[in-house]
Structures are given as C-alpha cells and as structure tokens.
Structure 1
Amino acid sequence: MIFRVENGCFGYKEKQILKSISFTVGDGEVLSVLGSNGVGKTTLLKCMMGLLKWNSGHSYVDDQEISQMKHKDFWKKIAYVPQAKGAAFGYSALDMVTLGRSAHLGTFAQPGKEDRKAAEEAMEEIGVTYLRDKLCTEMSGGELQMVLIARALTIFPSMLVLDEPESNLDFKNQLIILETIQKLSKNRGISAIVNTHYPEHALKISDKALLLNQDGTNIFGDAAEVINVENMRHSFSVQVHINQFSVDGREYRSVVPLHLV
C-alpha cells in the first residue's frame, strides 16, 4: 500500500499551522514526524487520516483520495495507535485488544470466535500474552502501549499511525516499542508513521523523516539526511552533536543536545 499526502494545509481562523505538507510512505517503510512542541505533529496525523479536514490538499491510499473511500474500508487499511494515557474502563487486555476488531463487525454485531482468535494471535505476536487477563487500569504505561499496538494489529492493517508511542516510558519500554515497530515493518511489511519527540529514535527505526518547523516550513526525505545538525538547530533552536558509532557490528547514531541558540 502507498500512502501519500499532497500539499496538505491546515489552520484555525487566522493561524496557519500546517503548510504545503507532502510526503509518501510505501510498504514496510517507517516515517517519523518530528518538531518542537506546538508545530502541529498530532494535528498532522489527524488531518492525514481525515479526522480533521485539510483546508486544502489531499490524502491518498493507493491513489484513491481518502474522502472518496468508505469509512470502513479506510480503517481496515489504517490502524491508529493513540498515546497510552490510561484506560477509562476496566477492560482486560484481551477484551481491549478484541475491541480492535470493530472495523470488521457490523453496527450491532458482537465479537465472535474469529475475532477473539485474531486478538489472541496479535497479543502473541508482540509478546503480551502474559497480560491477557490483567486490567488495563492496572497496567504500566509500557504495558498499555503494547496492548494498544496489539489492538491495532487485529485488523491486519497495511499501516500503523502511532502518536508518541514511546513518550513517558523508561529506557527498556521505549526500546521494546521501537523494536516492535521495526519488527512489524521488516517482517510483516507493515508501514508506520510515528510522531516522536526523539531524533535518536527516528534515526534508529525510520526510513524517512518529516521535520515540521515553527515558521511553517517542513523538510521531508531520508531520515539520515533530514536529521542533521543544521536542521535540528533551525527546528529546535538547539545546537546538537550527532555521533555515529558501531557496537557488535551494528551502526548507531546518537543526537546530543549541547546548548540553546
């Protein structure tokens, strides 16, 4: 599946937030969206999925403009994973994951054996079967985030859209989330668009990056080319040092903030 946005613009009244956004994500590719607070990263995710309407511009799935797609057909291809900020209801993990099957159910239909099977397989795939009967209200942020990813996988999507999936998590849980996204991309060919505050994380998992700037400009391209010292300085008003090193034959890059500019 090819997902693309062409010349997307959005704003409220006099304030233009997003200007001339254009990008393409292909099968198995990971795109990271970066930028300082308030530049419209979450707004971009909502606009590109049709949750907010572009003032101008369009989003496409395989050359079909999404406003021309049936709602149910779109949400069978695209799965949205929101930030894990706690669960309002006391669902078990299995019940929460099974809810992801709603895109395959009729208006008044109840989940059946096949839906429960899909939920169990999704939990097994990303290693959270041990949470099966645990209440979401009793989970850590990392556990709940993994459950939400499993829920998204129950529809067998072509693309995941994740809003700050690693925020407010410790090092271990951040790594678990990042490696899960990588595994789904490489092993299942599921593409992903990830809204993140961490340039290092984008360099670790992304093929492409979209950098949103405070002045309304944006930069899209290969992640290693977009995330450079000059662009970080312009976008975040921070001087950084980008270090490349090798451990056990694998290449890594770290982004170290030095001082404000």
Structure 2
Amino acid sequence: MMLEARELAIGYGSTEVGRGLNLDAGGGEILCLLGPNGCGKTTLFRTLLGLLPALSGAVLLGGKPISAQSRAEIARRIAYVPQAHAPPFPFEALEVVLMGRTARLGAFGQPGRQDRDIALTAMNRLGIADLVQRDYSRLSGGQRQLVLIARALAQEAPLIVMDEPTASLDFGNQAQVLAQITSLAQDEAKDGRGVILSTHDPDQAFALNAQVLLMKDGTSHAHGPAKDVLTGANLSAVYGIPVSVENTTSGRKVCLPKLEAQSAPTMTSDALTIA
C-alpha cells in the first residue's frame, strides 16, 4: 500500500499553508517530517488523512485519489496516532485499544475474542499489558501515548501516521517507541508497515534510518535519505540557528545546535517617535 502526494497545496478554505509538496511512503518505509513550528506539518497530516481537502494537486492512497475513498476504506489502510487525546468518558485502556478494531468490524459490529486477542497482543508488544484495566483518563501522558500506538497496531492498517509520537514520553519510552517503529517497518511477516511521523528531533530520523521531508514555510526545503538531507547547512537554513552534524564514536550521527543567546535588538530614540 502506497500513500503519495503530488504537487500538493494545503490549507484551510482560501488560506494556503503549503504548496508544491511531493512525498511517498509504502510498506517497509519510514518517512519523517521535520521543520519548525508553523511550517505546515499538521496541516499536511490532515490532508494526507483525507480530513482536509487538497487546495490543488493530489493525495493518492493505493493509486486512487483519497478524496474518492470512504472513511471506512481509509481507516482500513491508514491508522493515525494523534499527538494528544482527551477521552470523553473514563474508558479502560484495553477498551481504547479495541477501538482500533472498529475499521474491521463495521459501524454496528461488536469486538469478539479474536479482536480482544489482537488488542492484547498490541499492548504486550509495547510493554503496557499492566495497563489493561486502568482508567485511560488517569494515565500519564506517556502511558496514554503508548495506548494510542497500541490502538493503531490493533487496527492492522498497512500504513501508520504518527503526529510527534514521542513528544510526551520519557527517555526510556522514547527509545522503546523508536525501536517499535523500526520493527514495524522491518516486520517480515507482513512485509513491513509504512510509517509517516513528525518529530522535532532530527536525531530520531538518523536513528530510524528514515527518509526525510524537511519543511520550511509550507514548502519542501529538502527531501531524501536522512544522511543526505540532514546536513548542517540545511538545518541551519530551516531553523535559523547554526547547527553542526557530527559523528559519535559509535558511528551515529547527531545534530548539535550552537547554544548562543540571541541579543534583543537595540531600540533607539527614533524608534520611539510616534508619527
């Protein structure tokens, strides 16, 4: 299953947020969206999921325009992990994970034993089996994020879109989630799932050996393998600060911003004059 964007313009109504965007992600591939706040990543996500209409260009899912597919068809092909989620009722964590089975059951279907087993397997895979009967609304932000990822796994979609999946996780859980993302893409039993995720940490793209779409002001600044795209020059241009990319003794690449306080502009007496 392939998700593609071709010369995509994104936005809300007549307000354009981004333009000229091209990407593709399929089974066994990881694509990281990187860029500063306000560059259009969330709007791009919503357009890729069919929640917002493209202003121009096209989003193709399995070779067909996503706009021509029903929500049920899309849900069977793409699972979505939001950055945050506030439940309207105090569901148990297992009940939240079971919601991922809705796309497979239909509007009035009820989850059976097999669905419960799939949900429990997803929770076990993420190391959160002990949360099965816990009140989801009372879990920590990091625990809720892991439950949402388990829900996406239970959906059994060939593509997973994740909006900053490690944003609320501690160091150990971040490493666990990144390991699971790699495992999903390398899963030989199902030919690997495609994963598209946004992150504010370019080091994660290196760790995942991912393809990268580096965005600035709603456009693609660079697109390709992390090792080619995440250069000091590109990162400095996009984030507006000096950045160097260095190799660790283990062979990993890391991005190091220059930590230098920015001086506030000096205000002259002329600037205070009111015309």
Residue 72 of structure 2: aligned partner: 72
| Counterpart contact for 2:19–2:218, Cα < 8 Å | no
Residue 102 of structure 1: aligned partner: 102
Residue 27 of structure 2: aligned partner: 27
Aligned Cα root-mean-square deviation (Å): 1.8
Residue 3 of structure 1: aligned partner: 3
Once residues 227 and 209 of structure 1 are traced to their aligned partners in structure 2, the CA distance between those partners, rounded to angstroms, is 8
Corresponding letter in the other structure for 1:159: L
Is structure 2 residue 245 aligned with structure 1 residue 242? yes
Question: What percent identity do the matched residue pairs reach?
Answer: 34
Q: How much does 1:252 deviate?
A: 1.3
Corresponding letter in the other structure for 1:208: Q
Once residues 87 and 170 of structure 2 are traced to their aligned partners in structure 1, the CA distance between those partners, rounded to angstroms, is 19
CA offset digits 1:174-200 (Å, max 9, x no partner):
112211111111125011000111111
| Counterpart contact for 2:3–2:62, Cα < 8 Å | yes
Moved more, 139-148 or 46-55: 139-148
Q: How much does 1:230 deviate?
A: 0.9
Once residues 84 and 231 of structure 1 are traced to their aligned partners in structure 2, the CA distance between those partners, rounded to angstroms, is 29
Aligned length: 258
**Structure ranking higher in strand proportion:** 1
Once residues 208 and 17 of structure 1 are traced to their aligned partners in structure 2, the CA distance between those partners, rounded to angstroms, is 23
What's the TM-score, normalizing by structure 2? Answer: 0.88
Residue ranges of structure 2 left out of the alignment (5+ in a row) = 263-275
Q: 1:2 to 1:217 in 2, by over 3 A?
A: closer
Larger gyration radius, structure 1 or structure 2: 2
CA offset digits 1:94-153 (Å, max 9, x no partner):
111001111112322322222212211221222221211111122122211111111111
Q: How much does 1:35 deviate?
A: 0.6
What's the TM-score, normalizing by structure 1? Answer: 0.92
| Counterpart contact for 2:81–2:162, Cα < 8 Å | yes
Residue 228 of structure 1: aligned partner: 231
| Counterpart contact for 1:90–1:136, Cα < 8 Å | yes
| Counterpart contact for 2:212–2:223, Cα < 8 Å | yes
Residue 113 of structure 1: aligned partner: 113
Residue ranges of structure 1 left out of the alignment (5+ in a row) = none
Once residues 157 and 165 of structure 1 are traced to their aligned partners in structure 2, the CA distance between those partners, rounded to angstroms, is 17
Q: How much does 1:215 deviate?
A: 6.6
Q: 1:83 to 1:56 in 2, by over 3 A?
A: same
Q: How much does 1:259 deviate?
A: 4.5
Residue 255 of structure 1: aligned partner: 255
Corresponding letter in the other structure for 2:33: V
